[in-house]
């Protein structure tokens, strides 16, 4: 939603978000600096690839928000659990029982209901925005799948710092290659950059921490609440209207997330 409040180019917003987030993490990085010795050359390659995928995620998603509505873009992100489930099966041979799969479907139905009247329609730019949103999902899941394997070797603070910094560098290079203006932004724009670096990025650091304990599919399920939050913020700051159908869809999403997490908790107790 914050992306809608500034006219700065998508890659510039993503670049400053990652750079500023890296700066904010420095105190914890200094505390865990010994973990840098644990990172092998091969692991650095994986971290660079993870940073590239994170840069692609932010670049694609921010651009999608310029072309379509907040709700339309975030609803495409609701496919993330399915993509994560597919990726986890291909790479780590993970399996999900029928109950968990059904709760994922329930939540996705809820997200679709939330955005039913707000999808791109016949607007070609909005449809392009939807496509960019889906590509950003693939990039984000790829980033999480790499983290699932590599974050157990080092502190999640160090992992987050490296991938955020690498993502910022990739976005910086993209801006240089496309001659995108990177300076001269207003105080208001910088306030938005800082807000992006603090509030949404806290969630990403938390996700990196949770990768020590749960799968990307479980994390992706928790992210399904994002369209609800985005809709509430859009109502407050962008004056978008909320319908009874959207409220119903939000309730269904929350029920689906609750049932999924409850089922996962039972499975963990059994194992």
User: What is the mean predicted confidence (pLDDT) over 202-227?
Assistant: 74
Query: Is the separation of the CB atoms in 12 and 19 below 8 Å?
Result: no
Q: What does the alpha-carbon distance between residue 140 and residue 263 come to, in Å, rounded to a whole number?
A: 24
Listed in sequence order, the residues at least 6 apart from 31 whose beta carbon sits closer than 8 Å to its beta carbon are 157
Q: Specify the number of domains making up the chain.
A: 1
Which residue did the predictor score with more confidence, 216 or 170?
170
Among 2-6, 16-20, 42-46, the range of highest mean pLDDT? 16-20
Global model pTM greater than 0.85: no
Residue 105 reports pLDDT greater than 60: yes
Domain span including residue 162: 2-270
Predicted local confidence at residue 120, as pLDDT? 47
Ranges assigned E (strand) in 11-127 = none
Among 124-133, 209-218, 231-240, which stretch is predicted with the lowest mean pLDDT? Answer: 231-240
Give the rounded percent of residues in the chain with a pLDDT score beyond 70. Answer: 76
User: What is the mean predicted confidence (pLDDT) over 30-35?
Assistant: 92
- Which letter does DSSP use for residue 5 in this model? G
Predicted local confidence at residue 77, as pLDDT? 73
Predicted local confidence at residue 102, as pLDDT? 85
């Amino acid at each position: 939603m914050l992306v809608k409040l500034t006219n700065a180019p998508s890659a510039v917003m993503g670049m400053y978000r990652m750079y500023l987030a890296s700066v904010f993490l420095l105190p914890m990085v200094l505390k865990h600096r010994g973990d840098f010795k644990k990172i092998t050359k091969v692991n650095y390659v994986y971290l660079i690839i993870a940073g590239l995928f994170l840069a692609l995620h932010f670049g694609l998603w921010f651009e999608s928000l310029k072309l379509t509505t907040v709700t339309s873009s975030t609803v495409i992100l609701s496919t993330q659990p399915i993509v994560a489930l597919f990726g986890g099966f291909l790479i780590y041979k993970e399996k999900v029982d029928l109950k968990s799969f059904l709760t994922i479907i329930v939540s996705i139905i809820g997200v679709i209901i939330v955005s039913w009247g707000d999808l791109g329609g016949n607007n070609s730019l909005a449809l392009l925005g939807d496509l960019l949103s889906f590509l950003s999902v693939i990039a984000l899941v790829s980033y999480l799948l790499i983290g699932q394997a590599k974050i157990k070797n080092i502190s999640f603070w160090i992992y987050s710092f490296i991938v955020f910094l690498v993502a910022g560098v990739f976005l910086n290079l993209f801006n240089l290659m496309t001659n995108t203006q990177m300076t001269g932004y207003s105080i208001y724009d910088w306030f938005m950059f800082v807000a992006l670096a603090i509030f949404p990025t806290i969630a990403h650091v938390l996700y990196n921490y949770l990768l020590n304990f749960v799968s990307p599919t479980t994390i992706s399920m928790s992210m399904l609440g994002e369209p609800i939050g985005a809709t509430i913020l859009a109502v407050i700051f962008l004056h978008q209207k909320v319908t009874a159908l959207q409220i119903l869809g939000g309730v269904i999403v929350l029920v689906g997330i609750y049932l999924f997490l409850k089922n996962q908790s039972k499975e963990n107790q059994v194992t």
